[in-house]
Amino acid sequence: TLDRILRAADSASRQLVERVRVAYLGPPYSYSYLAATTRFGEGVELVAAGTIAAVFQEVAEGNVDYGLVPLENSTDGRVVDTLDMFARVPAQICDEVQLPVHHNLLGRCERSEIREVYSKPQALSQCREWLATHLPTARTVEMTSTAAAAQLAADRDGTAAVASREAAITYGLDIIAENIEDRTNNITRFAVIGDHAPQRTGKDKTSLMFEIAHRPGSLADTMAVFKNAKINLTWIESFPVPEDRTGYLFFVELEGHQNDARVKKAIAALSRRTLRLEILGSYPRASRPV
């Protein structure tokens, strides 16, 4: 609570000096909105974007100072749309936010009357066991965001939404069932993108994206760079190169700052083994929420 108060005070004071604009996957009271207010407070100007691609575009065109996009979930893993945009649009990660996500079943009817459940694909996936057990005959319908699902559920009979408690309050919905996520420790990690390099803290991580030759042993040879430099990797994901049937991009997060001697040496060695290498940014490691 104190952290949120301090962030709000900092946000308000910065707005007195400069107008800070932050794009997020909207509409208001989506989980991306909640992550944005957690990181920046409510004193900044929040700009709702219809898609993750639109958030990247707002940043690339200089319309906003920062963008906030979901990166991975502790239940479902990577967010494909975000990785795809890193592959397509130049972007720098300057911070991360970890948000505990508690899903609720929202509506204006009894549970027995629900015929359809609306939400974002990731939210439906994170509640699939609960939905299968408690609403086995209800049809699930994918939406662009949890908040958009809540808006729709407010206008249609026999429908419900999987969304946040804040969305229930905003759109005048009842909480039919709370905390319906299949895993209680359900956390989504968000990346803050923008042309702002944070100061080195000594407790940083660095994100890289690279492409390697499509031949036997090339990945093992590449990963040996980090082993030889005694650098710990905290995340690795592979992703198909856009418009290429055989190539893959690898997203890697490692402990340390890109200006640390060991990390600089490893990146230099990595550049000699890759077809494409991009440093997506160095930023403070977020503590895992409890």
Q: Is 190 a catalytic residue?
A: yes
Determine contact, residues 84/78, Cβ cutoff 8 Å: no
Identify the bridge partners of residue 118 per DSSP, sorted by sequence position: 141, 161
Determine contact, residues 190/99, Cβ cutoff 8 Å: yes
**C-alpha closest to that of 254 among 212, 287, 209:** 209
Query: What is the DSSP secondary-structure string of 93-125?
Result: EEEEEEEE---EEEESS-GGG--EEEE-HHHHH
Q: Is 239 a catalytic residue?
A: no
Q: What is the largest CA-CA distance in the chain?
A: 62
Determine contact, residues 257/200, Cβ cutoff 8 Å: yes
Q: SS3 breakdown of the chain: % helix, strand, coil, rounded to 5?
A: 35, 30, 35
Q: How far apart, in whole angstroms, are the C-alpha atoms of residue 47 and residue 63?
A: 10
**Catalytic pick among 37, 146, 188, 222:** 188
Q: How far apart, in whole angstroms, are the C-alpha atoms of residue 66 and residue 35?
A: 13
**Catalytic pick among 40, 56, 86, 190:** 190
Q: Strand 248-255 relative to strand 139-142: parallel, antiparallel, unpaired?
A: unpaired
Q: Strand 77-78 relative to strand 204-211: parallel, antiparallel, unpaired?
A: unpaired
User: φ and ψ at 211, to 5 degrees?
Assistant: -120, 140
Instruction: Please identify every residue annotated as catalytic.
Output: 188, 190
